[in-house]
Structure 1
Amino acid sequence: MSSNDDRQDRSGLGNFWGELRRRHVVRTAGVYVAAAFVVLQAGEIILPAFNTPDWALQSLVVIAALGLPVVLAVAWVWDLTPEGVERTDNRASVRKSAIPRLAFLVVTSAAVGFAAFSYARITFTGPARGAPDGVGSFVSLDADAPISAIAVLPLDNFAEGDDFFARSLHEEIIAQLAELTTLRVVSRTSVERYAETDKLLPEIAQELRVQAIVEGSVTRPADSDTVRITIQLIHAPSDTHLMAETFEREAKDVLRLQRDVAQQIAEAIQGEVTAPQDATPAPTIAAVDPEAHQAFIMGQMELDKNTPDGVEAAVTHFREAIDLDSSYSAAYAGLAGAQLLRGLEGLAPLDAMVAEAHAEAQRAVELGGADMEAEAVMVVIRDHLDDLPPAIREEVEVSFMAPPDSFARTYLQDFTRMGVRARQASLGSSEATSQGLARARLFEAQRQIADANFAGAATLLRQALDQNPATPAAWDALERTHVLQGDYAGAVEVRKERLRTLNGGAPDTESRIAGLEAAFDPTNPSTYWQWLRRDHQDREDSGDYASDVEYAAACVALGDYEDALRNLESALEDRDPALHTLRFDPTWDPLRRDPRFRDISRRIRAALSQGRLPSPATPPG
């Protein structure tokens, strides 16, 4: 191309830009974008207050984007003058060239294309990639299906200073929801990755396999003693708001605030609360000194660092909380746990720390409100009685209730902060017994299964089985990691390995394996569950132990909910430790709204609060 042609093209583009300015297209675009931004910001605040569905705001965004090229075209042709709207004078129009027209066409097409793409992404979001087929087979995301699972996303922090207060509220709301409902509540560790994400809520719901999402914010002005939480509950499959509420309390009532938020969410989901009307009323939640609560939160955050310095700092913060509020039971339970960890991790003499932890845990139980955390401390102390001098061991044993059975132990070690932290300490201890390490790895693996970290759980379970192959619960959990991923062939291989390991000498072992191989069709997962149910019945008929929870899971998978509920009733009577999976395993999602399932869940919690019963016979493989 000649230099004259280059100058002509550049002149053409320059004239086109000048023509845009002459026709006020640039100014009009700036005003439109600014006005659209204001409207969208207002819509983001106003629309949720009227419980409008999410698509209303999304449609507003699409309309604003589609309107831009229309406004630009109108501005090009027409102009606003003192005499009114008139057609723009064409006398100074750009010279005849394809470049200006092409440029205008590209800009307009790009704007329309982007708007269309955004609308399609919002409206037609498909299933998330990587969602396990096994989990999906138990979870219905149909818009008309009842809500059986919920996720509480990290709360936006608008409080002054660090976000530890918002993180603590987020964790406690999750814990309260798990206590108040039979819903499957996704754990804090599973939702933390969505703290800063641009994914749409339907996408997040697909990945977590839940029907409901809770999002919100926390505000705590520096010059005020109030706490404000704004919560929105969204039904993801239909993309509609079920609830939009603002809660405001004095800082001293933060414990009651956490309970109120969880209660309101539970009631918004079709009145879903586990406690029946004739149940014993919930204990009154005491007010707590705001500074004491802040010190307690900081102690928890230090413990979560899983470092020696964190443990030492936690002790200091918990003591500060007790000095500020001597009736704060959770601070006593926290101090008991931190002191015990100092002994377990070699930071202080174990016998002295056990004595202090025991005294603080007793005080927490007396005050009420932190019983399970205090009980978890007692369980860990009992596990280490043989490591104590006789005098201290006798002094501690006198105050113990009946020893917790495997049913209660599983709950205390899996659903309390102290249980999880002590398990992690055992995994890092060079003095732990092989049996203790196997048990610690089993419980940690079960937590990772709840967080859908199946690969990490499988690694821990293999390590646990290498240390103690005669652990039926570890075999159950390993098989479940395959089932929840839809890998039924892998689950069958684990079952065959289990039979040969635990029952290799039994005369019927190979016949059971042959029966499994003959019955299982890799293209039809129901054949796995059918064999499992028949095998369970055969073992019961022969007098061998067979978990009713395992049988109930097979019934759910096959759609026989009545039989599943009957077997869960039987499992509760036998205090089957596998009942702890009811809280987090998607297998049970189809039953969660059934009143009988709610009643079973309520009775499990009641059993945990009514003292400890003698341990049932240890189940064989």
Structure 2
Amino acid sequence: PAYMAPEQLSGRSEATERSDLYAVGLILYQALTGEPASTADTLEDLARVRATPPPPPSRIVPGVDADLERLILELLSPDPADRPATAAEVAAALAGTQGAAQTAPAPRSGLRHLPALLVVAVALLALAPLVTLWNRPDPAPLLPPAVVEVVRRPTALAVLPFENLGAGGPDDPLVAGIHAEILGELAKISDLRVIARSSVLRLRADPRSRQEIAADLGVGAVAEGSIRRIGDNLRVTVELVDVETEAQLLSETFDRELTSDNIFDVESEVAEKIAIALNARMTEQERARIRHDPDTSLEAYELYLLGTYNALLNSREGFEKSVAYLRAALAADPTFASAHSRLALIYVLAAVEGWLPENAAYTEARREARKALELDADLAEAYAALCRVKMQHDWAWSAAESMCARARELAPGDAQGYRTSAQLAAVRGRVDEAVELSLLALELDPVSGLSQLGAARRAWDARRYDLAANLAAEALRHDPSLGQGYRFLGLTRLFSGSVEEGLLFLEKHVQQAGRTPLSLTVLGYGYAVAGQHDRAREVLAEMDATEGIRPADRALVYLGLGRHAEALDALEQAVDERASLMIYLGVDPIFDPLRGNPRFDRLLVRVGLDA
């Protein structure tokens, strides 16, 4: 409702492009003045307020450029007919105000870089039709700008999901596994930028042309293919096309007897031929890593693919099935290093999601990663898992840095490697570096909601709340089922002063995720920060009766209520238990009220972070 036009609030008409432009006007008005153009407690009151124009920005910020003020007031006209007709018209008008904007006074909101704001506004206009998506009765986030500029590179490519021409449908584990492994091989080549599987999977049923998809992803080439399994035989076909010229760069068919050695050979050969077709530079080490195939049985490999497939479901049931399949793969072949490393990463995920007690999960993850590296010292996935164990549980910071660096060296094109490095940089206080790394991950994984949320978390750590909100909104646009997106939108709105809107988002998070320990914790914290202490205490009582609540969870609600001594008691217990949340003590804005407290400073020292 915060960004709905008057005609939508009153129900007089459906949303049009002029309704979208009204929302752009609201954003520009608040960014310029530091104040919303209109506020009200109910939708009825908001409709009544927006039936008249807002005060001119110059009454709040004297000296505002006259052309810019005129444009904003036109955008906020109660009558749609008086607004600019198209986004292109507004973009042209904005471009004409940028020179004058450079001498405009500093906005009261603290956004002092108005020229940059106008550039973002032009980007907003390109996405103006998306405002309609958010102008619903649900709380509306900021209209997400294009956060990462996508630049086409000849050696950037997307390998679209392979078509399954046999039985089993598009999600057949063998077909999905071969596709994932080819992407993994390509990620080992530093001269390529390969779009992550989590992004290309979202394009499987995309009706747009190859050129349109490539433009969205910023790639110069697209690979497509198919797999047919008939009895003991396998046929893999691959086609690589330059999207600008439509030239076919590669077209090949691989017919093999279905053995594990042959599958690995095909995966390596396809990756190497794609790289050669794109004229990508490969070092001898990279070429050797691509050609280095595991030595395992077909039975173990198919069980491994089933384990990987179930892990991607990102649920407790998927976790349990994944562990069972990977354990079966290792029973068939205890020397299968990739199965050990995949198991290590899955145990890390179980610790983060609360599917296993943290100590038990991280112990298993450490054991499996070390076993994988004993068998194959060049497994990037095993180093990545060890990095997260060292960071999230052991608090062995130098070792974590070393493991992360090695993982990125071995797989320079892996988006997850950048996300993990960004997390490590953030918790060690290098928040600007963390944001930069998370945006690099986003270039490799541009339409994945989880990748957007990872970048939102890093922006949150850096106190860049508007960027965090935009990234969370973008994540929800890609995947509306991601409850974490509502959590970040709620927190960023709370910290930006939009308390009621923030609480609506946090309540939406609970609806989406269920009444889990995490969703209840953040909701209780939100009520407390908003001054609704009775409701916060009700949530705290519910948490006491909820299985899986940890001391760190209670600490956040105590902190919101201003009960700092109890919050510190709970945090000290959480540090004793080596709760992974404690790595954020040095950087998370939620803990800012405790900074400078001697007890809190001692906790930072215990975790190995600077006080």
- Shared fold per TM-score greater than 0.5: no
**Larger CA Rg, structure 1 vs 2:** 1
TM-score, structure 1 normalization? 0.44
TM-score, structure 2 normalization? 0.44
**More relative contact order in 1 or in 2 (CA 8 Å, sep 6+)?**
1
